[in-house]
């Protein structure tokens, strides 16, 4: 693909990356202190991408923004993943649901594990809010983005969501 554009930009939580094509947003990467800011807004970037970046900055500053209208380039996905990510985009800010509930919403009842795999492979963290998916019985589940579960909990707190149970850390293990 030759029409790919990449933008690394700073947010209140650190550097964020988004990559898009002519079809829409191709992937994102949540703030990561290890990500070096090496790119600036390309001079030929479309107005829509500039708006996406501003909304992402606003999110990490605490503003209640929506990403529902950002087009996604899902050309590399199969129909199951499209169904899962589409159902997840409908989960509003401040809400969580279980892997099993998301599977049912996506028309895949009983396929919580498939949802877990899709969450781990989510090409659009934040825009497709995988941080809102939790395990059964109020457990946090996993989170493969930079910062792991602490990032998931921080995002849920920012949105005012009911928090899943946080596993206690061993004293002295993490500072």
**Enzyme catalytic residues:** 130
| 137 CA to centre of own chain | 22
Q: How far apart are CA 86 and CA 149, in angstroms?
A: 23
- Which of 38, 42, 18 has the alpha carbon at shortest distance from 30? 18
Residue 139 region by backbone torsions, left for phi larger than 0, else alpha for psi between -120 and 50, else beta = beta
Which tokens belong to 46?
């479309």
Q: What angle do CA 147, 115, 168 make, to 5 degrees?
A: 40
Taken in order 19, 29, 126, 100, the sign of the CA dihedral is positive
Nearest CA-CA partner of 53 in 19, 83, 95: 19
């Amino acid at each position: 693909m030759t029409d790919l554009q990449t933008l690394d930009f700073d947010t209140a939580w650190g550097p964020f990356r988004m990559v898009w094509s002519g079809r829409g947003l191709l992937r994102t990467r949540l703030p990561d202190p290890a990500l070096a800011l090496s790119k600036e807004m390309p001079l030929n970037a479309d107005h829509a991408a500039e708006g996406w970046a501003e909304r992402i900055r606003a999110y990490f500053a605490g503003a209640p923004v929506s990403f529902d209208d950002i087009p996604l380039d899902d050309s590399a996905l199969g129909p199951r993943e499209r169904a899962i990510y589409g159902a997840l985009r409908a989960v509003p800010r401040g809400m969580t649901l279980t892997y099993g509930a998301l599977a049912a919403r996506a028309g895949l009842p009983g396929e919580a594990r498939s949802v877990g795999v899709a969450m781990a492979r989510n090409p659009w963290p934040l825009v497709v809010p995988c941080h809102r998916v939790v395990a059964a019985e109020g457990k946090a589940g996993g989170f493969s983005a930079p910062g792991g579960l602490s990032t998931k909990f921080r995002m849920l707190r920012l949105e005012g969501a009911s928090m899943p149970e946080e596993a206690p850390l061993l004293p002295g293990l993490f500072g």
